[in-house]
Amino acid sequence: MPLRVIAGSARGVQLRQPGGDTRPTSARLREALFSMLDAADLLRSPALDLYAGSGALGIEALSRGVEQCTLVEAARHACDIIADNLERAHVAGGTVVRGRVGRWRADPDHPVSLVMADPPYDDATSWSSIEASVQDALAADATIVVEHAARQAPPAELAGRPLWRDRRHGEGAVAIYRAADAVQEGGSE
């Protein structure tokens, strides 16, 4: 099934996929994720797309109005595909960075407001790698979103933020972490 942008300025644009070990986020899970983020007014800039793969999460965010997103991917071939997908979608504000999550670090001088990560489901170190990459570079009200296998429970906290939502859709799930004061104000499920 083709991978397409779901909504926004690039709605319907078909994205290339790198193949190999990558597992693109399903359209159903992306739609649920972005519906939650939009309803809570959490689609903010600057954003990060970690383990970017095809760039689908970052491009979806840019298509929906996020002004700037850095897409981080370790595989050179996937980085080339992300760059091509950004051109296909005609979205501005996307920057592709070749780097390994955990080793690559976000710039603390430019705090990030939204982090989206889609690590391999079988990588037990991915949670700590995500935390290492964003350490000291999160805005006070930053939100972190991590796709994970539905069969595994996410940690109760990530980068000093408590779990706000964990939604399952088929084999995948999405965990959303927000600052403690935002969770208390907005309630938790």
Cα distance between residue 62 and residue 64, in whole Å: 5
Distances (CA, A) of 61 to 9, 34, 123, 182: 10, 8, 25, 21
pLDDT at 189: 39
pLDDT tens, position by position, 85-126: 999 999 999 999 999 999 999 999 999 999 999 999 888 899
Report whether the peptide linkage leading into residue 46 is cis, meaning its omega lies within 30 degrees of zero: yes
pLDDT tens, position by position, 30-82: 898 999 999 999 999 999 999 999 999 999 999 999 999 999 999 999 999 99
pLDDT at 122: 86
Q: Up-side HSE of residue 149: CA atoms within 13 Å toward CB?
A: 8
Q: What is the mean pLDDT of residues 156-170?
A: 94
Whether residue 185 has pLDDT greater than 60: no
Q: What is the mean pLDDT of residues 142-147?
A: 96
Q: What is the mean pLDDT of residues 123-135?
A: 95
pLDDT at 184: 58
Higher local confidence (pLDDT), 189 or 62:
62
Higher local confidence (pLDDT), 17 or 182:
17
Cα distance between residue 164 and residue 183, in whole Å: 6
3-state secondary structure of 49: strand
pLDDT at 23: 64
